[in-house]
Amino acid sequence: MTIYLDHNATTPVDPLVLEAMWPWFRDNVANASSVHALGRRARSVVDAARADVAAIVGAEAREIVFTSGATESDNLALKGVLEAAPRGRRRILVGSTEHKAVLDTADWLSRRGAEVVLVPVTSDGLVDVDAYLELLDERVALVSIMLANNETGVIAPLRLIAEAAHEVGAIVHTDATQAVGKMDVDFADLGVDLASWSAHKMYGPKGTGALYVARRTRIVATMHGGGHEFGLRSGTSNVPAIVGFGAASVHGRVTHDESSRQGALIERLVSSLSSRLSGVHQIGISAPRLSNTACIRFVGADAEAVMVNAPVVAMSSGSACTARFPSPSHVLLAMHLDADAASECLRFSVGRSTSDGDIDLAIQHVVEAVERVRSFGTCQARTWDVSEERSIV
Ligand code: PLP
């Protein structure tokens, strides 16, 4: 038995999504670029999926570029904008709690002449707006700030961030991987130029995602070939996956009622754990957050050890005392937690299939595990090497 509380890592594929994909593996295997009838048919379902994917984020179909997922979309956004930027704009502002898909890409660019500046966050994980505004000037080519954080669920004040960036002529990218499908998202309304996300975080298949590219955004391709996806991402279209992404945009969206139900499950999880155990703190508690996510610190209990002692609960920690190079989560460090506190945090993320019974069982297993870990003490010889971070997906 496993209680799956790791929906921010990935979600199960919705049966309706699977059903929509199946014929494109079995009945029509044509290349969507082929001009024969089967090819044209494949092309038409790719176009239909593009319209469905666009609709969920308030975009036009023409603004959706299919990729292999958010990692690729983040890479294309950062590298493609910097490559196209005018000579005097070599600076990129990147949130300090971004996913590694953004941070590592920014790091790669910094080794090729870009000036990368990390935007600090408050202890609640929100962008430090004063510090951010100070960093903005005409040298900034791109600002990349995620919409919702994968570890804490904290939601950024993106409209404000985008407005300020546009005042100095910078392009705005957001990693919206954790937001799309879980909350209402309209990229035009938020004022962002580029946005990345993945189908598998919203009950769709793995290995497909999108980059939203608002019209007139200055960006060039980083992968060249057949000129697919409006010339921005060459490579034969993954028709079954794209069809699945389209279906997930229709069937995988969490409704407002479902979002409230998930919020109630998370609240009960946090309040029961807090009443049954001492030293329980929710991270980012004062910030707006995704309803399905809680990052919880259990003081004096190493998170990895708690996971080992509660094997039936699938949850995530940002550190590993058994890993060769154990390290605390960069997200939690950026939120001013020290390395030991960060090593005591676990992320719980519920989804559509999570029941009240799952939460009851998870509470029981986690309480017992935390008590056991606290009574024995666990993580031996913990030496943090911040350069070798593991991160939560
Ligand atoms: N960005 C965020 C915020 C994520 O949570 C993830 C998931 O791991 C990614 C990017 C990368 O997504 P993918 O592995 O689908 O490319």
pLDDT digits (tens, 9 = 90+) for 305-332: 999 999 999 999 865 444 455 678 999 9
Per the CB < 8 A criterion, the answer to whether 31 and 39 are in contact is yes
The rounded distance, in Å, linking the Cα atoms of 271 and 260 is 16
Report the relative pairing of strands 209-213 and 64-67 from DSSP bridges: antiparallel
Is the pLDDT at 19 greater than 60? The verdict is yes
The rounded distance, in Å, linking the Cα atoms of 191 and 4 is 35
Of residues 295, 321, 345, 379, which has the active-site annotation?
Answer: 321
Q: What are the residue ranges of helices labelled H in the chain?
A: 15-21, 23-26, 37-56, 70-84, 100-110, 129-135, 158-167, 187-190, 239-251, 256-276, 303-309, 330-334, 339-342, 356-376
> Can you read off the two tokens belonging to residue 161?
């961030």
pLDDT digits (tens, 9 = 90+) for 363-378: 999 999 999 999 986 5
Mutate to test the pocket of ligand 1, among 150, 208, 238 (most ligand atoms within 8 A of CB): 150
User: Which protein residue's CA is at the shortest distance from atom 10 of ligand 1?
Assistant: 70
Q: Supply the pLDDT for residue 393.
A: 78
**Residue 71 CB–ligand 1 contact under 6 Å:** yes
Per the CB < 8 A criterion, the answer to whether 219 and 78 are in contact is no
Report the relative pairing of strands 209-213 and 280-282 from DSSP bridges: unpaired
| Annotated catalytic residue 295 | no
Q: Supply the pLDDT for residue 385.
A: 47
Per the CB < 8 A criterion, the answer to whether 350 and 268 are in contact is no
Entry pTM: 0.94
pLDDT digits (tens, 9 = 90+) for 335-372: 999 999 999 999 999 999 999 999 999 999 999 999 99
User: Which protein residue's CA is at the shortest distance from atom 8 of ligand 1?
Assistant: 393
User: Which protein residue's CA is at the shortest distance from atom 6 of ligand 1?
Assistant: 393
Average model confidence (pLDDT) across the chain: 94
